[in-house]
Amino acid sequence: MMKRIRLLSIPALVFGIAMLFGTVALAASYTLFGNAMLVSPGNASPTAVQLSSTCPGGPSQCFANNTFTFSGVDFTVPAGLTVAGLNNLSTDYNFSAGGCGGGSPRFQVNVTNGTPSGTGNIFMYIGPPPTYSPCTLGIWQNSGNLAAPVNLVDTSQLPLGTFYDPYSVAQTKYGSYQVTGIQLVADGGWAVPGNNQTLRADNVAINNDVTTFESAETCKKGGWEQFTSAPGPFKNQGQCVSYFSKNK
C-alpha cells in the first residue's frame, strides 16, 4: 500500500524537477539533479554517478519538515525515439546504504502521445521482482535489460495502464508514444533502513548508447588503466583521451 501511495506522488515531483534541470544543458548526454554527484571509482572505470535519498526522522517528519532529499540523472534521448524503439535499458549499480525499496531506484521513461492525458511515465524498477527489494549492499550488480519483453513495468500513469504490464504489452499499447526523456532516480530514503538510500550507478545503456560518466580528463594520472572492460581496456593514456574526445 505504501508503494502505491508513493508512486502517485513522488514521481510526479521528481519528473517535474528532472524536466526543469534537463533544460539547462541540452547539448550534454546527461544532467545531474538533486543530490547526484560524480564519484570515483566506477565499475571497471574511474567514475560513476552517486545517487542518494534521505528522509531524516522517517516519513512522518521529513516530509512535514521538507528535509526529504532525492537525486537522479536526466539523459538526453535521440529525437524521434518511441516506446516501440526503446528495447534496451540497463545499468550497473552498487548500494552502500539502505538498499532498494519504495519503488527506488528506477528508470522513469517520459512518454507522450501529444495529449495531456497521454503524457506520463513508464516506470522500470531496479531490484528483485515482484517487491523490488531487498538489494545486496557492497557489490556491483547489473539490472539486466529492463526493456526486455517479459520484464514487468509500471504504466499506471498512462491510459489503460496497470501495475504491472510486461514490457511487450506496454509496447503494444504505447508503441507510437514519443520518448521525451529518461531519468535514473533514487528517492527511496523514506522506505529503507536508516532512511538513507545511497548507491553508485555506472555503464547506463539506452539502446546501443552506453553512458560511463567519464571524460578525457578521467584518463589522466593513470585513470586509463582502470578501464578493465568496455570501452577499454586502453593501451595508453593517449588512446583513452582520444576515445572520450571523439565520443562526448
Looking at the structure, do residues 102 and 147 belong to the same domain, yes or no? yes
Q: What is the mean pLDDT of residues 160-176?
A: 96
Looking at the structure, do residues 205 and 219 belong to the same domain, yes or no? no
Instruction: Please tell me which residue, 220 or 25, carries the higher pLDDT value.
Output: 220
Q: First vs last Cα of the chain: how many Å apart?
A: 43
Neighbours of 176 (CB within 10 A): 11
The proportion of the chain whose per-residue pLDDT surpasses 90, expressed as a percent, equals 69
State which residues form the domain around 156: 2-213
Looking at the structure, do residues 178 and 67 belong to the same domain, yes or no? yes
Does 52 score more than 70 pLDDT? yes
d(CA 231, CA 248): 13
Does 39 score more than 50 pLDDT? yes
Instruction: Please tell me which residue, 90 or 228, carries the higher pLDDT value.
Output: 90
The residue with cell 556491483 is 140
Looking at the structure, do residues 106 and 69 belong to the same domain, yes or no? yes
Q: What is the mean pLDDT of residues 150-156?
A: 97
The residue with cell 531487498 is 134
Q: What is the pLDDT of residue 24?
A: 28
Q: What is the mean pLDDT of residues 213-237?
A: 82
Looking at the structure, do residues 219 and 172 belong to the same domain, yes or no? no
The answer to whether the beta carbons of residues 184 and 92 sit under 8 Å apart is: no
Total number of domains constituting the chain: 2
Q: What is the pLDDT of residue 248?
A: 56
Looking at the structure, do residues 134 and 236 belong to the same domain, yes or no? no
The proportion of the chain whose per-residue pLDDT surpasses 70, expressed as a percent, equals 87
Out of 3-17, 91-105, 150-164, 183-197, pick the least confident. Answer: 3-17
**What is the average pLDDT score of the chain?**
87
Instruction: Please tell me which residue, 5 or 67, carries the higher pLDDT value.
Output: 67
Residues in the chain, how many? 248
Helix (H, G, I), strand (E, B) or coil at 15: helix
Out of 28-42, 133-147, 157-171, pick the least confident. Answer: 28-42
The answer to whether the beta carbons of residues 141 and 210 sit under 8 Å apart is: no
Q: What is the pLDDT of residue 3?
A: 37
Of the pLDDT bands very low, low, confident and very high (cuts 50, 70, 90), residue 21 is: very low
Instruction: Please tell me which residue, 202 or 227, carries the higher pLDDT value.
Output: 202
Residue 65 CA: distances (Å) to CA of 5, 39, 54, 62, 189: 19, 29, 13, 5, 15
Looking at the structure, do residues 120 and 61 belong to the same domain, yes or no? yes
Looking at the structure, do residues 35 and 142 belong to the same domain, yes or no? yes
Q: What is the mean pLDDT of residues 234-241?
A: 92
Looking at the structure, do residues 234 and 112 belong to the same domain, yes or no? no
Classify each residue of 114-141 as buried b or exposed e, where b means 16 or more C-beta atoms within 10 Å of its C-beta: eeeeebbbbbbbbbeeeebbebeeeebe
Q: What is the CATH number of the domain that holds 142?
A: 2.60.120
This prediction has a pTM of 0.81
Helix (H, G, I), strand (E, B) or coil at 80: coil
CA angle 30, 110, 95 (to 5 degrees): 55
